[in-house]
Amino acid sequence: MSLPSLVLRSATPDDRVCIGAAIDAACGCPEACLIVQRLSGTPSAMTDRVFRFPEWCIVASYRGRAIGHISCWQDEMLGLIGSHVVLKAYRGFGVGAGLLEEMIRRARAEGLRLLEAVLRTPLTRACRLYERRRFHETALESDDGWIRYECRLDGPT
């Protein structure tokens, strides 16, 4: 099932409040909260970091409302997925997958060689989403629940 008239676009400063609220809400899930802590410390620090590079944040807009986003932090030829959140009411419609596919497309177009993501078990749905979009598990960091994924962008599509 998909949402008709869903638009994927770059973030603008006007999205900051919505994106900050979505990151806050995602922290209701302990595993997502640990990802935020690991990457940025706090939800508001993560939002600040997203808006330092808004061109690397893609927003899913439905009927004029920002219902999801994905962000990435570029380090030379590498992109690290920062946050990837869809509002609860809109999950299961392919929005999260569409955002990830668009990020892969843009990263490739910008000449990045690799996209990375760190996830935690038991975020089974998120892990499956990444695995089905050409991300491979590269490291299971001991037994503490962290999984590092990467997607090579310099090979065939």
Name the minimum Å distance from CB 77 to ligand COA. 22
- Spell out the alpha helix ranges (H) of the chain: 16-26, 30-40, 43-52, 95-109, 124-131
By the 8 A CB rule, do 84 and 149 touch? no
Please give the helix or strand (H or E) that residue 92 lies within, else none: none
Report, in Å, the least distance between residue 125 CB and ligand COA: 5
Q: Would you say 5 or 111 has its CB closer to ligand COA?
A: 5
Q: Which is nearer to ligand COA, 106 or 120 (CB)?
A: 120
Ranked by CB distance to ligand COA, the top (closest) residue is 96
For residue 94, is it left (φ>0), alpha (ψ between -120 and 50) or beta? left
CB of 148 to ligand COA, least distance (A): 13
Q: Give the nearer residue to ligand COA in terms of CB position, either 45 or 97.
A: 97
Phi/psi for 27 (5° steps) reads: -70, -5
Which residues here bind ligand COA, judged by CB under 6 A? 26, 29, 32, 35, 83-86, 91-97, 119, 123, 125-126, 128-129, 132
